[in-house]
Amino acid sequence: VYPRQPVRVGCLATSVRFADPQIARDFGVDHARRCIDLAGDLGVPCLRIFGGVAGEGPSEAQAFDRVADGVSAIADDAAQRGVTLCVETHDQWSDPARMARLMSRLDHPAVAVTWDFLHPQRHGFGSPAESFAILKPWIRHAHFHDALIDGDQLTLVPIGEGEVDHRIAIELLLDANYDGCFSGEWTRPRSKPAEEYLADDLAVLHRYETECSTTKANP
């Protein structure tokens, strides 16, 4: 019989997004506030949200304004519940420079970034080290998954077998005294169920963490 251990829930994932007016009606401010209350009730520190794709109609500038206004409308609600809103580097917000502009404009202690470092790399916005250098002040949550990248085509593979340098990502986070979670993510079918990859992926991440921690302690 294994001893019971507390389970830490690092982040509540949502489909909240603001760039597309059509989607924002379903996943906008009211929905976000309900998610914030749920996270607060459960004691979950982070709420993952998206900027989202602008869709047809809004210009890039209008989409940026919609996201900034939408996140700003719920930032104080999040702060009151002890929840940090983490906008993910995803879709049109994979560009670290664009995300940094959003964070600088919002400038709110309850607004931060979910750093999914696969997406900046796959869209040509730089390696994990390059995206980290831009987003470092705002990273409060991190997504880990590896892939082979062929244009817009992704083939997810076990961590350490793809083109994304997870070791440097862990090293950079540890050097920055990051105290959030390393969150593994599986979003597309693989050759076997995702949970069968879990033990191997965890072992690789623990190995990287141990190596980086040892290097940091013994430079």
pLDDT tens digits for 42-51? 999 999 999 9
Asked whether the beta carbons of 218 and 179 are under 8 A apart, the reply is: no
* pLDDT for 5: 62
- State both tokens at 79: 């702060």
Residue 42's H or E segment, with its range, is helix 29-42
Percent of the chain with pLDDT over 90: 64
Reply yes or no on whether the pLDDT at 1 is more than 90. Answer: no
* Main-chain dihedrals φ then ψ at residue 113, nearest 5 degrees: -125, 135
Average pLDDT value for residue range 71-91:
97
Reply yes or no on whether the pLDDT at 184 is more than 60. Answer: yes
* pLDDT for 21: 81
Q: Look at 84 and 24; give whichever has higher pLDDT.
A: 84
189: confidence class by pLDDT, cuts 50, 70, 90:
low
Reply yes or no on whether the pLDDT at 67 is more than 80. Answer: yes
Average pLDDT value for residue range 114-134:
96
Residue 113, beta-bridge partner list: 87, 139
Q: What is the CA radius of gyration of the chain?
A: 18
* pLDDT for 149: 92
DSSP string, 101-148: HHHHHH--TTEEEEEETHHHHHTTS--HHHHHHHHGGGEEEEEE-EEE
94: confidence class by pLDDT, cuts 50, 70, 90:
very high
* pLDDT for 167: 94
Inter-helix orientation angle 96-106/128-135, to 10°: 10
Reply yes or no on whether the pLDDT at 192 is more than 80. Answer: no
How many CA atoms, within 13 angstroms, populate the side-chain half-sphere of residue 208? 19
Average pLDDT value for residue range 29-41:
95
In angstroms, rounded to a whole number, what is the distance separating the alpha carbons of residues 176 and 22? 38
What does the pLDDT look like over 155-181, one tens digit per residue? 888 899 999 999 999 999 999 999 998
Q: How far is CA 167 from CA 12, 87, 113, 170, 206, in A?
A: 25, 23, 20, 5, 10
Which of 86-100, 121-135, 166-180, 183-197 is predicted least confidently?
Answer: 183-197
